[in-house]
A and B are shown apart, each in its own frame.
Chain A
């Protein structure tokens, strides 16, 4: 990094999600306008604010850290290329999620994971009811639409209005898909003998 000018303390991969939520979409929108005006540091700030959540989404959807990094990089490159195409109908974060999800679909289609990697992450915490690896394997077996809504809601803990905006469906459809997906997960885990 530049020894004299790259001392920007904002350069971190992850900003806590609650901090992004507190700052709100208005700040994202202002940053996006600065990006459109050619301000590279504004794009860097958008990256800093959203990269962590996008990485978490991509990690869960692709099952691979390397694929997740590719997804995050490609997401910001695509967003950067298409700044003028963003019409502001959705929040910037939603727009980024949508791009990332499309990249995840491509990555998942290229390499469908059976049992995702477990690499250097925090220790499994899902042991109360079922093993983490069984959960991950069952997620990988779900139909794409089910997996997406389940990850966005139960893993990423997004609300249905944002999920609906990301997936381009009605809120009711998002809820309906979620409950079908959760029910399917239960069946898959039962078939694996892992249900509580």
Chain B
């Protein structure tokens, strides 16, 4: 195929014009003239067919691109994280104070608390309720103290406006933390009534773990 037109062609349609004809972009009179010409001119007809094939092939590429886009990675978390970092930098905050002072030690404390909990659950199995052995209670109290310290740090960090959440999200976060605190407070009440109740300690540690997971997620999102 080359770009030559039928030299006997009096209408002398250009490929650009034939492309415009395909899309309906020509004035009606010219479109009618060219349409009639195509009936008589195999060369121009061939060019028009090739241009139509180009258009059809590109549309098929578009269909494939849209199918690929539907499977593309969700970039929103990356975008939000980068924007939050930019905002902090624009405010001249650099690395937020709570990140400097709290994240590393809080992370270490969380790891220690989680390890203590796992060890306790593995090595001191027992009934869900009942009298706890002294060793188990000591381990539980140590884990509780570690959790409380880590949670206090994480809560302090997230109370800062730098966390960057919109008001609706902040309300949801506060409600989620309040719900967990309600459970913890009920456990405390049970332990005040029966300090060595193993079931109450288990429930309290589970609540702490839930809160730690929640706060860790928040910190992870804020980074």
What is A's interface to B at a CB cutoff of 8 Å? 1-6, 11-14, 17, 38-41, 43-44, 47-48, 51-53, 55-56, 59-60, 65, 68-69, 72-73, 76-77, 80-81, 120-126, 128-130, 132, 135-136, 139, 150-151, 154-157, 175-176, 178-180, 182-183, 185-187, 189-190, 195-196
- On whether the beta carbons of A40 and B25 are closer than 8 Å, the reply is no
- On whether the beta carbons of A175 and B25 are closer than 8 Å, the reply is yes
Shortest distance in angstroms between A46's beta carbon and chain B's nearest beta carbon? 10
Shortest distance in angstroms between A37's beta carbon and chain B's nearest beta carbon? 9
The A interface, classified by DSSP as helix, strand, loop or mixed, is helix
Shortest distance in angstroms between B222's beta carbon and chain A's nearest beta carbon? 10
- On whether the beta carbons of A136 and B75 are closer than 8 Å, the reply is no
Given contacts A40-B169, A183-B19, whether A154 and B75 have CB atoms under 8 Å apart is no
- On whether the beta carbons of A41 and B214 are closer than 8 Å, the reply is no
- On whether the beta carbons of A179 and B61 are closer than 8 Å, the reply is no
Could you list some 6 contacts between A and B, CB below 8 A?
Answer: A12-B74, A13-B69, A17-B66, A52-B69, A55-B69, A77-B86
What is B's interface to A at a CB cutoff of 8 Å? 1-3, 14-17, 19-20, 23, 25, 47, 49-51, 53-80, 82-83, 86, 164-166, 168-169, 172-173, 176, 213-214, 217-218, 221
Chain B residues contacting A157 (CB-CB under 8 Å) are 59, 62
Chain A residues contacting B60 (CB-CB under 8 Å) are 124-126, 128, 132
Chain B residues contacting A59 (CB-CB under 8 Å) are 65, 68-69
- On whether the beta carbons of A4 and B176 are closer than 8 Å, the reply is yes
Given A132-B61, A178-B19; 4 other pairs, CB 8 A cutoff: A73-B79, A125-B64, A135-B61, A157-B62
Given contacts A5-B173, A120-B71, A124-B60, whether A154 and B55 have CB atoms under 8 Å apart is yes
- On whether the beta carbons of A183 and B51 are closer than 8 Å, the reply is yes
- On whether the beta carbons of B213 and A3 are closer than 8 Å, the reply is yes
Chain B residues contacting A13 (CB-CB under 8 Å) are 69-70, 72-76
Chain B residues contacting A128 (CB-CB under 8 Å) are 53, 56-57, 60
- On whether the beta carbons of A179 and B20 are closer than 8 Å, the reply is yes
User: Which among A81, A122, A183 is the interface contact of B67 at CB below 8 angstroms?
Assistant: A122
Given contacts A13-B75, A81-B86, whether A60 and B19 have CB atoms under 8 Å apart is no
Shortest distance in angstroms between B44's beta carbon and chain A's nearest beta carbon? 13
Shortest distance in angstroms between A87's beta carbon and chain B's nearest beta carbon? 21
- On whether the beta carbons of A185 and B213 are closer than 8 Å, the reply is no
Given contacts A47-B79, A73-B82, A190-B2, whether A129 and B56 have CB atoms under 8 Å apart is yes
Chain B residues contacting A136 (CB-CB under 8 Å) are 61
Given contacts A55-B69, A56-B68, A190-B2, whether A130 and B19 have CB atoms under 8 Å apart is no
- On whether the beta carbons of B76 and A155 are closer than 8 Å, the reply is no
Shortest distance in angstroms between A4's beta carbon and chain B's nearest beta carbon? 5
Chain A residues contacting B67 (CB-CB under 8 Å) are 121-122
- On whether the beta carbons of B50 and A121 are closer than 8 Å, the reply is no
How far apart are the CA atoms of A196 and B81 in the complex, in Å?
49
